[in-house]
Structure 1
Amino acid sequence: MKPTLIQGNIKRGILYFAIPLFFSNFFQQLYNTVDTLLIGHFLGDAPLAALGSTAAIFELIVQFCSGMGLGFGIVISRFYGARDENHLKMAIAESLILGFGIALILSIVSCAFMPWLLHVLKTPKSIYSMAYGYIQLIAATLVITMFYNLAACLFRSIGNSLTPLYVLIITSILNVILDTLFITQWHIGIRGAAYATVLSQAIAALLCFGLIHKKEPLLVPERKHFRIDPIIIHELLTQGLAMGFMFSIVSVGTIILQSGINPLGTNIIAAHTAARKWFALLVLPLGTLGATTSTFVSQNRGAKQWERIEQGIRFCIHFDWIYTLVLTVIVFGFARSMIHLLSGSTNPIVLENGTQYLRINIPGFVVLGPLLTYRNALQGQGYKIYPLISSGIELGGKIVFTLWIIPTLAYFGVILCEPVVWSLMSLQLWMSYRLIQGKRANPFD
């Protein structure tokens, strides 16, 4: 019998869920990494800088959709752990309605304010039109992003992380093909990367919902489940918006930080873009265990298995530390080659600054791993305020660095920002988790 998150060996159960989730996240990240690689190698440093100048905006709007999906999934996981099929299907039905409405509103607002936001970010005039063409298309299609993330979270809420992986493998291959055609053959430019991403995510969403209908009847609500239940709607909205705003606050901080990076010039933007793409790939194991912790804690909370929750959290943190140690050794040896591989640049300013970013930020994973574990554990137990406080700390820290430290230290101030902020956030989340450790409140009891 395969291990699950609510019974059997804890380590095997977590890894059985986390490994497919990791590869799902990897292929999801591959969407943007392939964009970076092809644009850097075939279009040059200026288009690469244009892509990088929108990275924080992309992260803001997409991460909000991802956070909403994860928040909905936490509620659904809780009903699954409690074996409450009726409420589970009601939560799914209401998630579909809420997800569509929120994504549509967010898309309209994003498109309306995009020129203003690019101006606030001090996007260089030389790359403005390319940056605008790319990010406006992403913002206009957020309903697709929301429904893909929601479909994947439905599978994961019942412990199935394999099916979203299979879908992502297929659509990631499609994304690579489309990227190559649009950028290198049809010469659409940076906007072609956006077309490839949107088309691939649309197909991924259709495949996921098709497989749900065919393979997972537990996740298919009937007409009777599409009715208003104030308690479930309240829990979905509070959990979903808490996750969405938590991710958004983090992304707002990144946008503020980007406003300090953009005036440093296209070479620094290109260096930061390549380094951040590597960061996004290398942090995936930590993020994956964090997301696994959320589902693990939520299911076991529904089953009232409190000691099992503690054991799972300890395992995730120990895994984070071992991974950080191994990765730090690798990065110190190969960081410069990694930046060149992804950016295609031979410019020493790009290579040296990108290398320095990796060599300082990657060892910071020693505090980032526990941060993600505790934050997701708190979310999984239904506590929404403490993770939001941590996001507020991150936002405040990035404002301080952008206004006072980066003007003095230039890009080195950017490099120092996140490790310092992570340390403060990790301390706050650890203290918060210990503070509420004895609480066993469940709004559905």
Structure 2
Amino acid sequence: MEDLDKKDGAAASETKTVQIENKMGTMPLGKLLIQISLPMMISMLVQALYNIVDSIFVAQISENALTAVSLAFPIQNLMISTSVGTGVGVNALLSMRLGQQDKKAVSDSAMNGIFLYAITCVVFIVLGIFVPRIYFESQTNNPEIIEYGVQYLSICMIVSVGLYGAILFERLLQSTGRTVLSMISQLAGAITNIIFDPLLIFGLLGFPKLGIAGAAWATVLGQIVGFVISLSLNLTKNKEISYKIKGFRPHGKVIADIYKVGVPSILLGSIGSVLTYLINLILGAFTMTAVAVYGVYFKLQSFIFMPVFGLNNGIVPIVAYNYGAKRKDRIMRAIKLCAIAAVLIMGAGLLIFELFPRQLLAMFNASEEMYAIGIPALRRIALHFPVAAICITLISVFQALGKGLMSMIVSFVRQIIVLLPAAYLLSLTGDVNNIWWAFIIAEGASVIASAIGMRITYNKDIKTL
């Protein structure tokens, strides 16, 4: 890696212009990937830890409360998907404009991104008033689960301004390579969340005992803290972006460029929400405990996947910037380094899930029925982790190069064409534990689709640089 770094530094010095370049075009790649990705990996680890701790606290209320939070996940994931998907579009476009040294285009990308976030937030606030009860009644007839779910999801949707604001301004920090500042805001939000979870759920230290509603309020409070801090850091530290509200008008071309990458990413996440909703229906036909297990799996696997997502979020601005600067060698080295690191992380996750499934489930106050379903579930699903690392890396490359449609196709193949039908067919065996093999089958299809997509993308967009 040191040799590669020396070559990168030499190549960068030869291509310097009279203008001062962003570090994404000059810094040795090994060091750059660590510098940009490590803060995001740490912050996402804390976010994943929050997700686990949040569910651990909710599980102390009852298994029905844990099931309600699991059923709420598809809607929450949809909210995050619309936010992150738009952020991917803004991030890729803004980083590319930085590589092209176009300051006005950089600011236009940021301001139009802010506009899109505001519109999306208002839509989900309105939906939060009408949708939650209808949504939960479509999945279960258990009145306690429905009431828990409505309380929790209504608060998360109606008070979602913190979620959208935090993700937007963290993405803007990431797009200019200021991932340490992004980490600070994410850590502050997650830590706030973790602190207020027990205080508001159980009524400690004089706080009101709100039960599952307390978990929701802790969530939105943490998001608001992250929003305020990331906004402040952007205004004071992110000097490469000029925020000019006065005279701003939405720009159709810029919005189209953002959504060219963003919409496929949003649809990709939305597909995941639909898939989870339908998988919950399949599992619920056996027992609601299986739904709770599936929810616990998502919380636990986030602790493995989130660092990989942080790593791959780090290569998006690197690849986009160097694509704009027409530097093929830096693009390919970044992809290789990222893929190797992602596989190593996922391999460690595989070992944890295979060796300690009972201990992992015990954190969620598991019943004997949950152990019986959960232990084989964790062990079987985890087999796809190393393969998923490759797919995640290549999807990030597609997004960075403006090939959002390609990433959507890969996800569609995995989740809709393969995973959902496989899960349904395996459910017909009458054994709920057979359903988990569908994840292995789907990941095999995904890696084939990703490899084909990368070959097409390389030949068309990278090879001729």
Q: What is the CA-CA distance between 1:197 and the residue it aligns to? A: 0.6
The answer to whether structure 1 residue 294 and structure 2 residue 325 are counterparts is no
Q: Secondary structure at the match of 1:8?
A: coil
After TM superposition, the score normalised by the length of structure 2 is 0.88
Where does residue 94 of structure 1 map in the other structure?
Answer: 112
Which residue identity does 1:22 align to in structure 2?
M
Counterpart position of 2:41: 22
Aligned residue identity for 2:392: L
CA deviation after TM superposition for structure 1 residue 142, in Å: 3.0
**How far off its partner does 1:402 sit?**
4.6
Q: Which residue of 2 aligns with 1:337?
A: 359
Aligned equivalents of 1:61, 1:392: Cα separation in 2: 19
User: Distance in 1 between the 2:167 and 2:119 partners?
Assistant: 15
- The answer to whether the 8 Å contact 2:140/2:146 transfers is no
Q: Distance in 2 between matches of 1:162 and 1:328?
A: 28
1:9-48 aligned at under 5 Å gives the runs: 9-40=28-59, 42-48=60-66
1:134: Cα distance to partner? 0.6
Structure 2 equivalent of residue 381 of structure 1: 401
Contact conserved, 1:31 with 1:197, CA < 8 A, in 2?
no
Cα deviation, residue 123, structure 1: 5.9
Tell me if structure 2 keeps the 8 A contact 1:275–1:355.
no
Distance apart, 1:137 and its partner CA: 1.5
Is 1:365 the counterpart of 2:385? The answer is yes
Structure 1 residue corresponding to 2:442, chosen from 393, 408, 421:
421
Q: Distance in 1 between matches of 2:151 and 2:409?
A: 35
Q: CA deviation at 1:438?
A: 2.4
Question: Measured at CA, do residues 69 and 410 of structure 1 come closer, stay the same or move farther in structure 2, by a change above 3 Å?
Answer: farther
Deviation, 1:374, is 0.7
Residue type of the partner of 2:435? V
In structure 2, the partner of 1:176 is 194
Corresponding residue of 1:141: 159
What SS does structure 2 have at the residue aligned with 1:430?
helix
47-56 vs 156-165, greater mean Cα deviation: 47-56
| Equivalent in the alignment of 2:346 | 324
Return the letter of the residue paired with 1:361.
Answer: I
Indicate the percent of aligned positions where both proteins have the same amino acid.
Answer: 19
Change (3 A) 1:11 1:410: farther
Shift of 1:243: 1.6
Higher mean displacement: 103-112 or 387-396 = 103-112
Shift of 1:389: 1.0
Summarize deviations over 1:262-321 as a string: whole Å, max 9, x none: 333233233222222111111122222222232221111111111211111112222222
Q: Distance in 2 between matches of 1:210 and 1:141?
A: 20
Which amino acid is 1:433 matched to? M
Query: 1:52 pairs with 70, 86, 108, which one?
Result: 70
Find the aligned partners of 1:285 and 1:411 in 2 and give their Cα distance: 30
CA distance in 1, matches of 2:245, 2:125: 28
Note the C-alpha offset of 1:245: 1.5
- Change in CA separation of 1:33 and 1:325 when aligned onto 2, cut-off 3 Å: closer
Unmatched 5+ stretches in structure 2: 1-8, 10-21
CA displacement, residues 219-271 of structure 1 (integer Å, 9 cap, x when unaligned): 23224672343321210232222221221112211221122123332332332
SS in 2 for 1:264: coil
Q: Secondary structure at the residue paired with 1:369?
A: helix
Partner of 1:392: 412
Q: Secondary structure at the match of 1:122?
A: coil
Shift of 1:178: 1.2
Contact kept? 1:49, 1:270, Cα under 8 Å: yes
Please give the alpha-carbon distance, in whole angstroms, between the structure 1 residues aligned to 2:43 and 2:427. 35
C-alpha separation in 2, matches of 1:225 and 1:89: 13
Question: Is the contact between residue 47 and residue 190 of structure 1 (CA under 8 Å) also seen in structure 2?
Answer: yes
Tell me which residue corresponds to 2:18. Answer: none
Q: Deviation of residue 19 (structure 1)?
A: 0.9
Q: How does 1:236-247 map to 2 (within 5 A)?
A: 236-247=258-269
Moved segments of 4+, more than 4 Å: none
Q: Deviations over 1:118-177 (max 9, x none)?
A: 233336333111011111221223333111111000000011111121122223222122
Higher mean C-alpha displacement, 305-314 vs 388-397: 388-397
Q: Which moved more, 1:348-357 or 1:90-99?
A: 348-357
Corresponding residue number in structure 1 for 2:17: none
Q: Which residue of 1 aligns with 2:12?
A: none
Seen in structure 2, the aligned counterparts of structure 1 residues 399 and 358 have a Cα distance that, compared at 3 Å, is closer
- Amino acid aligned to 1:412: N
Q: Confirm whether residue 79 of structure 1 aligns to residue 97 of structure 2.
A: yes
Instruction: Tell me the C-alpha RMSD between the 2 structures.
Output: 2.2
CA distance in 2, matches of 1:397, 1:228: 39
The equivalent residue for 1:436 is 457
Contact 1:405 1:413 in 2 (8 A): yes
Residue 61 (1) aligns with residue 79 (2): yes
Alignment-derived partner of residue 315 in structure 1: 337
Superposed CA offset, 1:370-393 (max 9, x none): 111111101111112211112222
Cα distance, 1:57–1:258 mapped onto 2, change above 3 Å: farther
Give the distance between the partners of 1:351 and 1:263, measured in 2 at CA: 18
Task: Supply the distance in 2 between the matched residues of 1:287 and 1:149 (Cα, whole angstroms).
Answer: 14
> Are the counterparts in 1 of residues 162 and 226 from structure 2 also a CA contact under 8 Å?
no
Secondary structure at the aligned position of 1:173 is classed as helix
**Cα distance between partner residues in 1 of 2:139 and 2:25:** 46
Q: Which moved more, 1:70-79 or 1:122-131?
A: 122-131
Larger deviation: 30-39 or 188-197?
30-39
Compared CA separation, residues 51 and 407, structure 1 to 2 (3 A): farther
Match of 2:127 in 1: 109
Aligned length: 438
> Could you tell me how far apart the structure 2 residues matched to 1:287 and 1:231 are?
29
Q: Which segment drifts farther, 361-370 or 411-420?
A: 411-420
CA gap 1:403/1:272 in 2 versus in 1, 3 angstroms: closer
Separation of aligned partners in 2, 1:111 and 1:369: 38
Moved more, 406-415 or 349-358: 406-415
Structure 1: 5+ residue stretches without partners: none
Shift in CA distance, 410/84, structure 1 to aligned 2, threshold 3 Å = farther
**Aligned-pair CA distance for 1:194:** 0.6
